[in-house]
Structure 1
């Protein structure tokens, strides 16, 4: 078993240890075990990570984060930035997975469209830390929405990320934080990452929904000049 397979197995073991809210009918419709995590898609050696809130029903069916409507926005934007042309079919969007890591605050789908409680995020946080520090090789993270950005608050100085997010230029500025995790031998590993927040591309987010493609392209132009 590879290290990343061991991480996924450890997450499932934790999920089986004690129940928490999972949208079981969606998993059953997709013929998936509800405790099986959908941790990431993409390339662990990529320099860029997209970090979203949690999975939706389309993501569960596909077995990949960011595969539904919001994910389509992200993947099409990535394709334009990388290929300098419009995608002509959905299969074209698969090429973006070579250049990016896609993940969420929790590798499960909550019931309905409600975010997971902080207790659930805290429970699975150590596994996301292992993914981002020990397995992923990059250093730039585009967060999608408030919940995803706030997940990183513990890694900044007290109040630092809250103060940053109150700025009017938060969707064009960036902030650095240091992620850290202990490996199985007890050694501390750290990774300095740059957070580049964006709003969540949901039709319910009326203030920013129409602006999202332009905001995304501006972010990607910094990373894929």
Structure 2
């Protein structure tokens, strides 16, 4: 199996080939190289993956996905579901990394709070595909927000993602897609994965922020994680 560290280096090499929007000031203040990918946190031999949009300020500073305000709510509720107790220590904050993989559509922080363009997402798609299929061994992906869910459009029938997104119960239903990837040696991979969409747990998401804990717990109860 390919080394995920090598995959991260390949992402960095791709980022250095051609400029694209990066929030340079945040990387500079964090003392990080802007083109250095923050590709994942967690373990690959897990059943569940939490899939977000892109990095925020806190993610850049701490060097891992989903550890800002939204990520902390996710981590808090995951820990509570797993151990029936509140997060108390730094180890508790990282407990999610023992039982899940955390990643995003693009392993960089865009300027401001704007999503990356379709062009940028497609540029880094092959690397995310490899992460999910060549390295991660699970098949349950909890997508966080619209952008994260719609990233999976190429892996099902045309229009299926949009059709699903219009369902009134989309945050309770699940969609099976056929994920495909090719590794760095040219070997092809494919696997069915189940998408379990949830709203993005940002404090700015007034409609769902307070409901997110209950919605996450319901999702986790759908399978033995």
The residue that corresponds to 2:194 in the other structure is 194
* Aligned 8 A contact 2:76 2:93 in 1: yes
Indicate the RMSD between aligned Cα atoms, in angstroms.
Answer: 1.2
Name 2:27's counterpart in structure 1: 27
Structure 2: gaps spanning 5 or more residues: none
Q: Residue 40 of structure 1 corresponds to which residue in structure 2?
A: 40
- Asked if structure 1 preserves the Cα contact closer than 8 Å seen for 2:145 and 2:199, the reply is yes
- Residue 18 of structure 1 aligns with which residue? 18
Q: Following superposition of structure 1 onto structure 2, how do residues 68-83 of structure 1 map, counting pairs within 5 Å?
A: 68-83=68-83
Structure 1, unaligned stretches of length 5 or more? none
Deviations 1:6-65 (A, max 9, x none): 101100000000000000111111111000000000011111000000000000000000
Distance 1:122 1:184 in 2: 17
**Quick one: distance in 1 between partners of 2:85 and 2:39?**
29
Q: What's the secondary structure of 1:22's corresponding residue?
A: coil
Question: What's 2:149 paired with?
Answer: 149
Q: Secondary structure at the match of 1:21?
A: coil
Q: Does the aligned pair in 1 maintain the 2:69–2:203 contact within 8 Å?
A: no
- Aligned equivalents of 1:216, 1:186: Cα separation in 2: 37
Q: Residue 66 of structure 1 corresponds to which residue in structure 2?
A: 66
Q: How does 1:204-219 map to 2 (within 5 A)?
A: 204-219=204-219
How many residues get paired?
Answer: 224
Contact 1:54/1:104 (CA < 8 Å) preserved in 2? yes
Q: Deviations over 1:141-183 (max 9, x none)?
A: 0000000000001101011111111101110110100111123
How far does residue 91 in structure 1 lie from its aligned partner after superposition?
Answer: 2.7
TM-score by length of 2: 0.96
Which residue of 2 is the match for residue 108 of structure 1? 108
Residue 202 of structure 1, CA deviation: 1.6
Following TM superposition, where does structure 1 have runs of at least 4 consecutive aligned residues deviating by more than 4 angstroms? Answer: none
The answer (yes or no) to whether the contact 2:171–2:197 under 8 Å persists in 1 is yes
Q: SS of the residue aligned with 1:55? A: coil
1:221 aligns with 2:218: no
**C-alpha distance in 1 between matches for 2:85 and 2:203:** 25
How far did residue 212 of structure 1 move?
Answer: 0.8
Which structure 2 residues correspond to residues 130-169 of structure 1 after superposition, within 5 A? 130-169=130-169
SS of 2:15's partner is helix
Secondary structure in 2 aligned to 1:223?
A: coil
